Chain A
Amino acid sequence: MQLETKTYGDTLIVTATMPRIDAAIAIEFKDNMRTACMDGPARVVLDLSSVSFLDSSGLGAVVAAMKLLAPDQKLELAGLTTNVDKVFRLTRMDRVFTIHPDTDTALNDTETDIENAS
């Protein structure tokens, strides 16, 4: 399925290229997230900027993916579009995930962390 991966330092960016994560592909999405992140860096940022629709099945799949990756990998999110963002806010799942405006910000956040640590 449509998941593209690219590693930047200690961060794996997984880009969801499908327009929707719904009941029709929720299980496939979860399984493919596991495969895409296997043996990857500890930090995974899922780029959802191409996804314009996510239903509760899709939300469940993203939560399931986060649980599958833990504890060795941490899943963060980036680029939530208007209606995807709404589902996360209404269900309060926006408090569970670290959510970045876009992948550039997500990658810069790492650099900030490193600077702060040194």
Chain B
Amino acid sequence: MHPDPLTTLMNKAKTLPHPTKTPTDKIHLIFPASPNGVRKALADTLEKLRFLELSIEETGTVELVLAEVMNNITEHAYADYPDGMIDLQITPTSRGLYCKVSDSGKPMPKGAAPLGSRALLDCELNDLPEGGFGWFLIRDLARDLEYSRVAGKNLLNFRIATNQPDLLAN
């Protein structure tokens, strides 16, 4: 007699690795806070994430959020520090990519991450904004965002939701 589909599925599930909080494929990069440093870090990160087989859209979201976060650090936190470094850690899980970004630059204005309101475009062409889109995109695309200032460092934690139902183990 053949086992019913549910039993088959449950037996199969038993053979899969148990979900664990211990990351085995964590990515950790430390790199210079400069436009080219960020560019290389993004390329390295996407290369290391290839095993996840993210869709083009998901890959684009990951690259965009990380780019905006790290460009902000380069341009604002390290505005007066040309030799600043960025520490990036990414832990892939079934709920998406948990990202930790830290730097030793200036704290966020008023001690909080910007709200990132959508720029108003109902204006004359010459008044259209050329910046200020970064935090809007981060807030729109990232989840569970938390900022803290600890021991002279900025710490930004957030999650980028990706569709990884098969990724049981971290």
Known contacts A60-B133, A86-B57; decide if A23 and B74 are in contact (CB<8 Å).
Answer: yes
A82 near B128 (CB under 8 angstroms)? Answer: no
Chain A contacts of B64 at CB under 8 A?
Answer: 53, 55, 83, 86-87
Question: Given the interface contacts A22-B35, A55-B71, A63-B130, does A92 sit within 8 Å of B118 by beta carbon?
Answer: yes
Size category of the binding interface on chain A: 20 to 34
How many interface residues does B have (CB within 8 Å)?
Answer: 31
CB-nearest residue of chain A to B140? A90
Whole-angstrom CA separation of A59 from B36 in the bound complex: 18
Main secondary structure of the interface of B (DSSP, over half): helix
Give complex CA distance A92, B75 in Å.
Answer: 24
- Is residue B87 within 8 Å, beta carbon to beta carbon, of the partner chain? no
- Counting CB contacts under 8 A, is A70 at the interface? yes
Task: Identify which of B21-29, B91-99, B119-127, B155-163 touches chain A.
Answer: B119-127
> What is the predominant secondary structure among interface residues of chain A facing chain B?
helix
Q: Which residue of B lies closest to A62 (CB)?
A: B130
Interface residues of B in 113-151 (CB under 8 A from A): 118-119, 121, 125-126, 128-131, 133-134, 136-137, 140-141
**A57-B71, A67-B126, A93-B121 known; A24 vs B36 contact (CB < 8 Å):** yes
| CB <8 Å contact, A96 and B68 | no
Q: Knowing A56-B131, A67-B128 touch, does A23 contact B121 (C-beta < 8 A)?
A: no
Are B57 and A70 in contact, CB atoms less than 8 angstroms apart? no
Contacts of B140 in A (CB 8 A): 90
Bits for A40-63, please: 1 = Cβ < 8 Å to B, else 0. 000000000000010111011101
Which of B61, B118, B121, B126 touches A96 (beta carbons < 8 Å)?
B121
* Residues on A with beta carbons closer than 8 Å to the beta carbon of B131: 56-57, 60
Are B36 and A96 within 8 A (Cβ)?
Answer: no
- A19 smallest CB distance to B (angstroms): 11
Whole-angstrom CA separation of A5 from B57 in the bound complex: 30
Contacts of B118 in A (CB 8 A): 91-92
Interface presence of B106 (CB below 8 A)? no
What's the nearest-Cβ distance from chain A to residue B122, in Å? 10
Q: Residues of B at under 8 Å CB distance from A?
A: 35-36, 38-39, 56-57, 59-61, 63-64, 67-68, 71, 74-75, 118-119, 121, 125-126, 128-131, 133-134, 136-137, 140-141
Q: Which 10 A-B pairs have the closest CB atoms?
A: A83-B60, A24-B35, A56-B133, A60-B130, A56-B134, A55-B67, A23-B35, A23-B71, A64-B130, A60-B131
Please, could you name 14 A-B residue pairs with CB atoms under 8 Å apart, sorted by A?
A: A22-B35, A22-B71, A23-B38, A23-B75, A24-B36, A60-B131, A67-B126, A82-B56, A82-B60, A83-B64, A87-B64, A90-B141, A93-B121, A96-B121
